[in-house]
Chain A
Amino acid sequence: MIDHVALLPAYLAGATAVLVLLVELLLARPGAVLLSGVLGAAATAVAAALAARGPARGTFCGAGGCSYVLDDRAALVAALFALLALGVLGLSAGHLRAGAVPPGEYCFLLACSMTGGVALAGARDLILLIVALETLTLPLYILVGLRRRTAAGAMAPSADAAVTFFVVSVVATSVTLLGAALLYAGTGAVRFAPLAATLADGPPAPLLPLTRVGVVLVLAGLAFKVAAVPFHAWAPATYDGAPLPVAAYLSTASKVGGVVAILAVVTGAFRPALDVAGPVLAALAVLTMTVGNLVALRQRRMVRLLAWSSVAQAGYILAPFGAFAAAAGRTGDALAAAVAAAIAYTVFYVVMELGAFAAVTALRPPDADGGDLADYRAAARRSPWVGAALVLALVGLAGLPPGLAGLFAKVAVVRALLAGGAGWLAVIVALNAVIGLAYYVRVAALLYAPADPRPAALPATAPSPAEPHAVEPPSTRPAWPVAAAVGTTALLAVLVGFAPQIVLAFAGR
């Protein structure tokens, strides 16, 4: 007996993908395609919120548990994916209008990826989890390389990025699959509940090392998706080569996918094996935030800086799981606090990261890439509102007021770590916040720096391909959906900053 209500959000997400293709075929107007995609994503989010009312719904159940469960948390994650897709569709308006990408294919792939995310939210089975995660990621390989440019020079970085991303991601998936296979060999289960039960009972002695290796491999494979160090090398090149809205999607949805997957296996399947998983996750978190922050200090390109910063942010998201390394962190209360902190951080992070990318997109001409940091000099003086939104997002990512959302995100992580007895990790998180401020504040100060007098002194010439950044247009008005995305994310950041309890309460369920 299949519970179709539990699957409704996934159905709607899939239907959105079909719908945009049909609209493209029948109407062939970018605006209509975009609108249908937006409506579909909104319907998916609403369905997720509605389907979660009442008790948790499970389906595809068998001995010992269900493969797919739509509970409060799954609904939150599903809605988050749908809203992210919605936001990214809004950001893409300029690109679609400029004819930079084919609208039908673009929206279809985005909707497919959203479907993967929605399915991932409820996955309680290793196979379903991996399939959903791949559905989330596969369309992104094409999206990263999808740019309708004839100039060979403009084509190259995008294609490069797509190939890098594809190769690394395939390796990661095979590692995860190998881990899942080893776990199946050791325990005979793929559903989380029976898997956890078998791990708790202790598999037969000769198979014990096999399951431990399986746990580590699954986590390592998933760490690729969140771009955790040392599995991060694909991220900066891929983000920088992709169109800006796709980079925004990669740094939010793709990362959330990895986090949700790790969260699901850690709290569901690996609960009895946290003594193995804990140190792995602690090491990943420390490496990820420290390396991400240190390398970000040296970046000169906007998207690369955001990419490295998002690597560092992944470290903060994983940090609460590091508390599992200590016995005190594995008790019921501490575990719940760690999970709640990770989810809360993820939600706050997504709002601010999407806000940062939205503002960057709005500040750039349609279909431009992120450009050098120097291109943003005095940008906030030219467009004060968008500049303020970008500063709010950056400061939030740094974790300081007026970006209260980011501050409370960091507070939640530190609180969970200290409650779990991992004071050392809390200190590392805290010190990393100091390193992080150094580059966020550099960008923020650049936005308000007085305009460089030199370019104005040069005679105005048409930009030649050899030096694409020689002359910047003084100010470009962003398309209204982009402006709406900037405004909405900024308002959302302010809202959850003043009322963090909205997010924290949901995360703590």
Chain B
Amino acid sequence: MSALLVVVLALPAAGAMVAALLPGERAGRVAGTVAAALAFVASLLLWFDRSAGGTGVIRPWHEVDVAWAPALDLRFHLGVDGISYPLVVLTTLLTLLCCAYTVGHVPAGGRGSALVALLLVVEVGMLGTFLALDLVLFFVFFEVVLLPMYAVIAGWGGAGRRAAARKFALYTLFGSVLLLVGVFTVVASAGTADIVALTGGAALPRGTQHAAFALFAVAFAVKSPLWPLHTWLPAAHTQAPTVGSVILAGVLLKMGTYGLIRVAVGVAPEGARWAAPVLGTLAVAAIIVGALVCLAQSEIKRLIAYSSVGHMGFVLLGVATLTATGIQAALIGNVAHGILTGLLFFLAGAVKDRFGTGDLAALGGLRERMPGLSGLLGYAAIGSLGLPGLAGFWGEAFAVIAAVRRGGPLWLTLGVIAAVGGALTAAYFLRLLRRVTHGPASPVVAGAVCGPIARLEVAAWSPLVVLALAVGLVPALVLGMASEPVRAVAEWVAR
């Protein structure tokens, strides 16, 4: 079964090559989508034949460990466990949906087959990041994502795509070079880059842990993004094509939060304890700032983009508590955000494609014109604001609970403020719905020639709709497999 890990990575890579090299443009798109589908199936197969190996804090179900470049402490060490598996499946699923969506709908800018190839390369990077159990390998995959995503935004984006893409690339590179320094701070001190050995092995010296955690935290905070390092995100999301936004919000941001749990907290637990109050405070600030900025937004994609800042704030708050509950909340928050924000961006893209504008003032009365689309938008928005029964609820609720349970005046305050932020989230999503779906049809909406929801769109959206409900009703889908590894991490940190 371990070979399956390599297959999961190799399929999208091969698909990208084929999609880029096939002479036929449509054939390239279809071939890429087939590769994405195969990768999705392969990632589902990882579920079978699980047996937690090893005795450490991280017990991967399947493992591959081959030397790559010993002179750089680089080993091709992959593994999957309960923490990474949900994200792996989320990645393969969203990439498949985006590729399939591109088969029928190529955004203006370039060859659709090139777009599919780039999406598949991004998938390789994301999967590699979630699967890597070697610090240097983790860094390498972390970097793989950057330029293809830049190309997606710069090639197929909106009017201001150049500046947005450059901002995205430079910001995230700034984060990842600090990750590089952090990685080798750890490696120089510990003599190994094996995440399994570093998590739960001999503790690193205090100074090293503080330095390493600070570097890791900034690196992942840029990617997540954590206020005040988030400024690349609204521009990138607004300008990116629909599929780019979906991947960016759905999975790319999770590389930051996942890295924080697996690498930063796992490798430098003492540093994590040292920095937790700062991290928690910034996370709550992100929730409040994100919500307030959202209340003032007038563009639909920009609003959803800023809502990501707030949602990621909840996830980071969960991590910052360093408790099992908090980390569980972060994991399910990650997955829920990937499903719901992915869906929201698909829907926002559909609205913009049909009416040619995302301006909230110009939209209105969508319910009269397209009841189906407006219903879906309402569903996704309500799920995203954290209604119990849908996926968004668990992450937000448990992050607040974890903060309150952590106790002490600081964490209690943070929990309360985060709860207020949750209410603000409801306010801006309801404002979005009131502006877009309710009221009389605006001239733009009434005058536009728009087709009904296409079959392809149904195919791309329905898995997300179903998952949002399923994860909301049965959170154990995610939490069941994660509870044991999360408990181990929390104990390791608390030691």
* A412→B180 contact, CB < 8 A: no
CA distance A415 to B180 in the complex (A): 9
* B184→A438 contact, CB < 8 A: no
Q: Mark A323-343, 1 if CB is under 8 A from B, else 0.
A: 000000000000000001000
* A400→B184 contact, CB < 8 A: no
Q: In angstroms, how far is the closest chain A Cβ from the Cβ of B201?
A: 19
CA distance A419 to B186 in the complex (A): 10
* A430→B71 contact, CB < 8 A: no
- A505 and B71 in contact (CB under 8 A), knowing A395-B147, A437-B169, A441-B166? yes
Q: In angstroms, how far is the closest chain B Cβ from the Cβ of A472?
A: 22
| Residue B297 interfacial (CB < 8 Å) | no
Q: How many of chain A's residues touch chain B, expressed as a range? A: 35 or more
* A410→B174 contact, CB < 8 A: no
Contact of A438 among B146, B170, B180, B187 (CB under 8 A): B170
Contact of B162 among A419, A445, A508 (CB under 8 A): A445
Which A376-413 residues have C-beta < 8 A from chain B? 395, 400-402, 404, 407-408, 410-412
Q: In angstroms, how far is the closest chain A Cβ from the Cβ of B38?
A: 22
| Residue A500 interfacial (CB < 8 Å) | yes
| Residue A174 interfacial (CB < 8 Å) | no
* B73→A400 contact, CB < 8 A: no
* B147→A423 contact, CB < 8 A: no
Which A463-509 residues have C-beta < 8 A from chain B? 499-501, 504-505, 507-508
| Residue A184 interfacial (CB < 8 Å) | no
Contacts of A408 in B (CB 8 A): 69, 72
| Residue B6 interfacial (CB < 8 Å) | no
- A400 and B146 in contact (CB under 8 A), knowing A433-B173, A441-B169, A501-B71? yes
- A340 and B185 in contact (CB under 8 A), knowing A433-B173, A434-B170, A438-B166? no
Contacts of B74 in A (CB 8 A): 411
| Residue B155 interfacial (CB < 8 Å) | yes
CA distance A445 to B152 in the complex (A): 11
Of B69, B70, B170, B178, most buried by chain A (CB within 10 Å of CB) is B69
Contacts of A507 in B (CB 8 A): 71
CA distance A411 to B71 in the complex (A): 10
Contacts of A441 in B (CB 8 A): 147, 150, 166, 169
Contact of B143 among A400, A442, A501, A508 (CB under 8 A): A400
Contacts of A434 in B (CB 8 A): 170, 173-174, 177
Contact of A415 among B140, B150, B187 (CB under 8 A): B187
* A508→B71 contact, CB < 8 A: yes
* A400→B147 contact, CB < 8 A: yes
| Residue A280 interfacial (CB < 8 Å) | no
Contacts of B150 in A (CB 8 A): 441
| Residue A427 interfacial (CB < 8 Å) | yes
Contacts of A410 in B (CB 8 A): 180
Q: In angstroms, how far is the closest chain A Cβ from the Cβ of B198?
A: 16
| Residue B47 interfacial (CB < 8 Å) | no
Contacts of B72 in A (CB 8 A): 408, 411-412, 415, 500, 504
* B185 nearest CB neighbor, chain A only: A418
* B180→A411 contact, CB < 8 A: yes
* A442 nearest CB neighbor, chain B only: B166
Q: How many of chain B's residues touch chain A, expressed as a range? A: 35 or more
| Residue A431 interfacial (CB < 8 Å) | yes
CA distance A426 to B185 in the complex (A): 10
CA distance A407 to B110 in the complex (A): 28
CA distance A340 to B70 in the complex (A): 13
* A401→B143 contact, CB < 8 A: yes
Contacts of B169 in A (CB 8 A): 437, 441
Contacts of A344 in B (CB 8 A): 71
Contacts of B70 in A (CB 8 A): 501
Give the secondary structure class of B's interface. Answer: helix
Q: Mark B116-155, 1 if CB is under 8 A from A, else 0.
A: 0000010001000000000010011001101100110011
CA distance A433 to B170 in the complex (A): 10
| Residue A11 interfacial (CB < 8 Å) | no
Of A344, A407, A434, A501, most buried by chain B (CB within 10 Å of CB) is A434
Contacts of B229 in A (CB 8 A): none
* B184→A426 contact, CB < 8 A: yes
* B188→A418 contact, CB < 8 A: yes
* A414→B155 contact, CB < 8 A: no
CA distance A419 to B211 in the complex (A): 15
Contacts of B165 in A (CB 8 A): 445
* A402→B181 contact, CB < 8 A: no
| Residue B68 interfacial (CB < 8 Å) | yes
Contact of A407 among B125, B143, B162, B211 (CB under 8 A): B143
CA distance A438 to B398 in the complex (A): 41
Which B156-195 residues have C-beta < 8 A from chain A? 162, 165-166, 169-170, 173-174, 177-178, 180-181, 184-185, 187-188
Which B48-78 residues have C-beta < 8 A from chain A? 68-74
Contacts of B162 in A (CB 8 A): 445
CA distance A340 to B69 in the complex (A): 14
Of A415, A423, A431, A501, most buried by chain B (CB within 10 Å of CB) is A415
* A340→B71 contact, CB < 8 A: yes
* A415→B73 contact, CB < 8 A: yes
CA distance A437 to B69 in the complex (A): 25
Q: In angstroms, how far is the closest chain A Cβ from the Cβ of B99?
A: 20
* A418→B143 contact, CB < 8 A: no
* A432 nearest CB neighbor, chain B only: B177
CA distance A325 to B224 in the complex (A): 37
Contacts of A423 in B (CB 8 A): 181, 185, 211
Q: In angstroms, how far is the closest chain B Cβ from the Cβ of A505?
A: 6
* A504→B71 contact, CB < 8 A: yes
Of A395, A423, A430, A448, most buried by chain B (CB within 10 Å of CB) is A430
Contacts of B184 in A (CB 8 A): 411, 414-415, 418-419, 426
- A430 and B73 in contact (CB under 8 A), knowing A418-B188, A423-B185? no
* A504→B69 contact, CB < 8 A: yes
CA distance A344 to B69 in the complex (A): 13
CA distance A157 to B403 in the complex (A): 69
CA distance A194 to B150 in the complex (A): 55
Q: Mark A21-44, 1 if CB is under 8 A from B, else 0.
A: 000000000000000000000000
- A419 and B188 in contact (CB under 8 A), knowing A426-B181, A438-B166? yes
* B68 nearest CB neighbor, chain A only: A501
* A498 nearest CB neighbor, chain B only: B68
* B140→A430 contact, CB < 8 A: no
Contacts of A340 in B (CB 8 A): 71
CA distance A182 to B266 in the complex (A): 55
Q: Mark B396-408, 1 if CB is under 8 A from A, else 0.
A: 0000000000000
* A436 nearest CB neighbor, chain B only: B173
* A427→B181 contact, CB < 8 A: yes
CA distance A407 to B154 in the complex (A): 22
CA distance A437 to B211 in the complex (A): 26
Q: In angstroms, how far is the closest chain B Cβ from the Cβ of A423?
A: 7
* A448→B155 contact, CB < 8 A: yes
Contacts of A419 in B (CB 8 A): 184, 188
* B146→A412 contact, CB < 8 A: no
* B215 nearest CB neighbor, chain A only: A427
Of A344, A400, A442, A504, most buried by chain B (CB within 10 Å of CB) is A400
Contact of A430 among B69, B147, B180 (CB under 8 A): B180
Q: In angstroms, how far is the closest chain B Cβ from the Cβ of A388?
A: 9
Q: In angstroms, how far is the closest chain A Cβ from the Cβ of B464?
A: 29
- A407 and B73 in contact (CB under 8 A), knowing A433-B173, A441-B169, A448-B155? no
CA distance A410 to B125 in the complex (A): 19
CA distance A438 to B169 in the complex (A): 8
Contacts of A437 in B (CB 8 A): 169-170, 173
* A414→B166 contact, CB < 8 A: no
A-B pairs with beta carbons under 8 Å apart, 5 shown: A400-B173, A434-B177, A499-B69, A500-B69, A501-B71
B residues sitting closer than 8 Å to A (CB atoms) are 68-74, 110, 121, 125, 136, 139-140, 143-144, 146-147, 150-151, 154-155, 162, 165-166, 169-170, 173-174, 177-178, 180-181, 184-185, 187-188, 211
Across the A-B interface, the 9 shortest Cβ-Cβ residue pairs: A430-B177, A504-B71, A418-B184, A418-B188, A401-B144, A501-B69, A500-B69, A419-B188, A415-B184
